[in-house]
Structure 1
Amino acid sequence: MRAQLARVDAVLVQAVIAAALSFAHLHDIASAAGQDGWKAWAYPVSVDLLLVAAWRRLRSGEDKAVAWCWFVIALAASLGANVATAGLLDMNAVPAWLRILVAGWPAVAFLGGMLLAHSAPAPVEDEPERQDTTEATLELPAEHTEEPAPTPAPVPPAVSVPAALVEHARKVAADHLSRTGTPIDTPTLRARLGVPVPMADAVAAHL
């Protein structure tokens, strides 16, 4: 735990020292370019804030092209000020192009900050489901046609069989059974009795 805290403290101290040096170099360049008083102190704040805003946009993963553009611009401004104060530039005779860059920086930083703050992609709204304007065709159920009920077969009228005929038919049937060993059938019974088919059926029903 102590080792971790020590690493964090070392990184924090290093970041503070680097930020202070960069801040001072930017202040010196702005002051040498004719921006005196509070304006010279506002320049390093503007550069560092633009750098942080661009880095945060890169970390968020949104619109990385814009974020990289302004991150490089802010880094170039900070790095350029650090290199320029290393004795490569006469601080008492700043060239005109540097004065122009310093004077135009507020507008550039304002534009970058606005683009980074308001160029986040708008959330994509779900397209409303396309309503089908085609009228649905309602299929009417087929008309159910009831088939006519089959006409029942006409019931033949009941045939009155005389008792004497039934008795005679029994004797004929017994005689047929004794001779052939099989019960008499209706056609044979009708032929032996000499009666029509309805009468023969009625007599056979009584046997």
Structure 2
Amino acid sequence: MARPAFRVDAVLVQAVIAGALSFAHLHDLAAAAGQDGWKAWAYPVSVDLLLVASWRRLRSEGPSRLAWCWFLIALVASLGANVATAGLLDLQQVPAWLRILVAAWPALAFMGGTLLAHSATDHPAPEVPATTPEPEPVASPEPGTLPAAVTEAEEAPALPAADPLPEPKPEPTAPAVQPAPAVPVALVDHARKVADDYRTRTGTPIDTDTLRARLGVPAQLAHAIAAQLV
């Protein structure tokens, strides 16, 4: 891609021409006021630097009384030199007041540059309201009444029902011991005869089941009879 051809800016050319003319007029005025050599060239540099510094302060930080003051001082110095060297002033016989202004300019420019570089920006003070609104009085509760937060008790959440404890199991009770039935003497004698006959025939004592079967009595009664036969 071809680069665009260099184009001369008319505004830039105009600024260079105006700056060169102003620079030359300040140099001529300083030399006519007795500032010869390099000092005559330092005056236009000092005026232009103060003008640029004050203008930059205005552009970067907004309107400021300090910046406007030094901008006007530098502008009057530059315009005054241009007008004085235009034939209205005899540069061969410079008046004393002009020599005094030219000689005092370095100190004046130094003070202006220092203030512009190290002073704080002028900001308007924040507006303070004339009166502060008083807080509205809080109505106190009437005697005998409680606030709503106290009268309306919050319902506590219901707790889950506890599981019922298991009922203790009843301990097993021992069966009641029934008393041994009374055995008639005649029944005991008859049972003894049956037992003797069984021993004689078998050679072994009779057992309770056989005795119960031979006598035809309940098992409990048979046990009672067998206990008496021992």
TM-score range, shorter chain: 0.5 to 0.7
**Structure 2: distance between partners of 1:75 and 1:11:** 20
In the aligned structure 1, how far is the partner of 2:9 from the partner of 2:17? 12
Identity score, percent: 79
C-alpha deviation, 1:122, in angstroms: 9.4
Equivalent AA in structure 2 for residue 28 of structure 1: D
Given that residues 33 and 99 in structure 1 are in contact (C-alpha distance below 8 angstroms), is that contact kept between their aligned partners in structure 2?
A: yes
Count of paired positions: 121
Distance, in Å, in 1 between the alignment partners of 2:114 and 2:68 is 15
SS of equivalent residue, structure 1 residue 20: helix
Alpha-carbon displacement from aligned partner over 1:161-203 (angstroms, at most 9, x marks no partner): xxxxxxxxxxxxxxxxxxxxxxxxxxxxxxxxxxxxxxxxxxx
Summarize the alignment of residues 30-41 of structure 1 with structure 2, pairs less than 5 Å apart. Answer: 30-41=30-41
Q: What is the deviation of 1:114?
A: 0.2
Q: Assess if the C-alpha contact under 8 Å between 2:61 and 2:121 holds in 1.
A: no
**1:42-90: CA deviations, max 9, x gaps?**
0000000000000000001256110000000000000000000110000
User: Structure with the greater relative contact order (CA < 8 A, sep ≥ 6): 1 or 2?
Assistant: 1
Contact 2:54–2:116 (CA under 8 A) maintained in structure 1: yes
Three-state SS of the structure 1 residue aligned to 2:98 is helix
SS in structure 2 at match of 1:34: coil
| Aligned residue number for residue 115 of structure 1 | 115
Q: Where does residue 94 of structure 1 map in the other structure?
A: 94
Query: 1:8-19 residue pairs with structure 2 within 5 A?
Result: 9-19=9-19
Given that 1:55 and 1:67 are in contact with CA atoms closer than 8 Å, whether structure 2 keeps it comes out as yes
**Aligned partners of 2:61 and 2:117: how far apart in 1?**
14
Distance between the aligned counterparts of 2:111 and 2:76, measured in 1? 16
8 Å contact kept, 1:63–1:121: no
Q: Which residue matches 2:23?
A: 23
Deviation string, structure 1 residues 104-142 (Cα, Å, up to 9, x no partner): 00000000000000112399xxxxxxxxxxxxxxxxxxx
User: 4+ residue runs of structure 1 moved beyond 3 angstroms?
Assistant: none
Classify 1:122/1:75 alpha carbon distance in 2 versus 1 (closer, same or farther; 3 Å): closer
Conserved 8 A contact 2:64-2:122: no
- 1:9 CA drift (Å): 1.4
Aligned equivalent of 1:79: 79
Matched, 1:103 2:103: yes
1:70 aligns with 2:65: no
Q: Cα RMSD over matched residues?
A: 2.2
Distance 1:102 1:122 in 2: 30
Residues 62 and 120 in structure 1, CA contact (< 8 A), matched pair in contact too: no
Is the CA contact (8 Å cut-off) linking 1:63 and 1:119 kept in structure 2?
no
Q: Structure 1 residues 122 and 99 mapped into 2: Cα distance closer, same or farther (>3 Å)? A: closer
Contact 1:54 1:116 in 2 (8 A): yes
The alpha carbon displacement at 1:101 in A equals 0.2
Q: Distance in 2 between matches of 1:82 and 1:16?
A: 16
* TM-score between the two structures when normalised by the length of structure 1: 0.55
Question: Aligned runs of 1:122-137 on 2, under 5 Å?
Answer: none
For residue 45 of structure 2, what is the aligned residue in structure 1?
A: 45
Partner-residue secondary structure (3-state), 1:92: coil
- Whole-Å separation in 2 of the counterparts to 1:9 and 1:50: 26
Equivalent residue runs for 1:171-190 within 5 Å: none
TM-score normalised over the length of structure 2: 0.49
Long gaps (5+) in structure 2: 124-230
